[in-house]
Amino acid sequence: MQLQLTSPLDMHLHLRQGEMLKNITPLSSKTFSGALIMPNTVPPITTKEMVKNYRDEIVEAAKDGTFTPYMTLFFSNSYNYEFLQSIKDDILAIKLYPAGITTNSEGGVNSFDIETLKETLEAMSQLQIPLCIHGESDGFVMDREAEFIPIYKQLATAFPKLKIVMEHITTAASAKAVLEHDNLYATITLHHLYITLDDVAGGMLQPHLFCKPIAKRPEDRAALIDLALNANPKVMFGSDSAPHPKSAKEAPGCAAGVFTAPIALQALAQLFEQHGKLENLQAFVSDNAQKIYNITPPKKSILLEKKEFIVPDSYGEIVPFLAGKSLQWSIQ
């Protein structure tokens, strides 16, 4: 049994910097036609020069002409229309982080007052630059995403022409909210389709499953699975693949992030087949994103076959999701 995917896309990817970028970029460029690259580097990507330099670094590391890094800018409410117009052709979206909410987000937004954000968001609306948001409050960890939903709704109402992407949603409440506004969309990760909080901390603590937003309840996972498996046009695949060395994961102050990039398509094929929805995988991993972002990625055909694949214990110094486990699908 085989399955051909055309131009798969990962619409939320962390490639880090330096040697780590050089080592992990080929693991995405091998199987994906393109990816939306997150800007929370050190320092964050905030200028046209930084965007171009980071893109060049990724293209060189990819060594694959059929992989497009779609670049993003780290949000600031100081961006005006003139600046955004000058950088529009170099980016696909702008990523907003609440200050200090996740890895390298200390320079994020402290206030979601509409008047404070108005100039930048109106300019983005006029220039048709989508806004991607890591939507969490600083409240109790299990409630952070739910507490952010009113902000999504407020922004969607105040800026109806602005495309807003709810990044890596993890709750049934978010799965419901994304359907309530025409200009709201969402990415869903592989790991949030597979695990709940019980997998992370129900027995022995599993540091390689710790991420932000943290995995939630079984009913939350079920709501995400329903959206993804039915390839709802409001959602698309975004791995949020976030590599950290083993020494940073198996340590006090465990770094947040799950590394899924090299095994994502195999694991998604297994999940979709188990639910009898294999025919919807193409839309979830490519077609929906092309329509939402109005992009045409490079043509790339990936052939999956029903053949056992043992997930490696590590990729260099990084432990992947499902390390050592057997998957039923391989990439030919």
CA separation for the pair 309, 324 (Å, rounded): 10
Out of 90, 240, 287, 313, the active site residue is 240
Closest CA to 146 of 51, 216, 60, 246: 216
So where are the chain's domains? 7-301
* Model pLDDT, residue 103: 82
Per the annotation, the verdict on 240 as an active-site residue is: yes
Token pair for 279? 């025919």
Instruction: Choose which CATH entry (3.30.750.210, 3.40.50.300, 3.20.20.140, 3.30.1700.10) describes domain 7-301.
Output: 3.20.20.140
The span from the CA of 55 to the CA of 305, in Å, is 32
Tens digit of each residue's pLDDT (9 = 90 or more) over 74-133: 999 999 999 999 999 999 999 999 988 888 888 888 888 899 999 999 999 999 999 999
pLDDT at position 212, please?
A: 95
pLDDT single digits (tens) 46-77: 999 999 999 999 999 998 779 999 999 999 99
β-sheet with 330-331: strand ranges across:
2-6, 301-305, 330-331
Q: What are phi and psi of 41, to 5 degrees?
A: -90, -175
Q: What is the pLDDT of residues 223-278, one digit of tens each?
A: 999 999 999 999 999 999 999 999 999 999 999 999 999 999 999 999 999 999 99
Strands 68-70 and 72-74 turn out to be unpaired
Give the CA dihedral 87, 88, 90, 92, nearest 10 degrees: 140
DSSP state of 280: G
